Structure 1
Amino acid sequence: DRLNFDTLAELPKCWIRTFVGDARNLNLIDDESIDLIATHPPYVSIIPYTKDRIEGDLSNIRSVDKFVEEMEKVAKEFFRVLKPGKYCAILIGDTRRHKHYVPVAFRVMQAFLKVGFILKEDIIKIQWNTKTTREKWKGTHEFYKIAHEHLFVFRKPQKNENLEKFKESSKW
């Protein structure tokens, strides 16, 4: 069964609020009040999102283990605020360390599964001529360029849902 979002003939009245803050602490958002989460977190110390080192900025974390640990905190908050049966989509890529591939995306996926999400889809986004790979490596090293990202679509289970049939999609 393909990813299918229900559409309404009439859109309900809604309100939009914007908060500036940290996804690891969504204390201004009520439990189970969000219908959809879409995010594209920073990469592990590849592209700095701030000029100066701001404490807590995920883009400044150099350790993959620490980055995944912090993303698990994000996953817990997303799980808390998302309504049961609704979706969370996260676009994330991988990196290299010491000329070897580091599957950051799958480590983050594990963190989301650990907190209770079910993996609905893994959509591969092909990247063409990305600045970070094209300019940083210039084809001088003995490895392939990373030319994709993962768009993981997670679903928060319904209350009292039988999760047995999703066990292969909820554990790594």
Structure 2
Amino acid sequence: MRAWTDVAVLAKTRNLAGGFVVKSTAGLPFLLQVGMEVAFVPPVTDVPRRARVSQITGATDTTAQVLFEGIEEMSQAKALVGCHCLVRSESLDLASPAVGALSWVGARVVDERFGLLGEVSDILENPGQMLLEVVSADRKNPLLIPLVDEFVMSADPDGSRIVVSIPEGLLNL
């Protein structure tokens, strides 16, 4: 099991006290909790690389307004916009159906334009983002799809299916 899991992205600043609008990633529900330690990636110079969640307000299924201990100035918050929030996997309830969706191995991956791409053989965690490793009998090498909102259109854990929209050039890599 991976030590850290990418669960959210700092979408934009929210207030002068260093707050953020935070969005969940990769089709996950909002998983941050008060007291949770977060690592920001990629790291930013002169800004804390880790912090604890100190306050969550206005939470929905996928977004919330979040304050972190140690991020107290607008300049620090602006520097972190776009960074991903990694949390220790052990702090997540991996038995819950929402987080269990992190284990997509075997799920069919279907592109809106290109049709069935194959099945997920692994989820690779890079410092900046996770990648779906998709295998197919039609391709010699696995297809690596960044697990980002721009490419993942929907995910159906019950149907074990992920719908993506990838650029054509990604198929030729």
TM-score, with structure 1 as normaliser: 0.24
Larger radius of gyration: 1
Higher relative contact order at CA 8 Å, sep ≥6: structure 1 or structure 2? 1
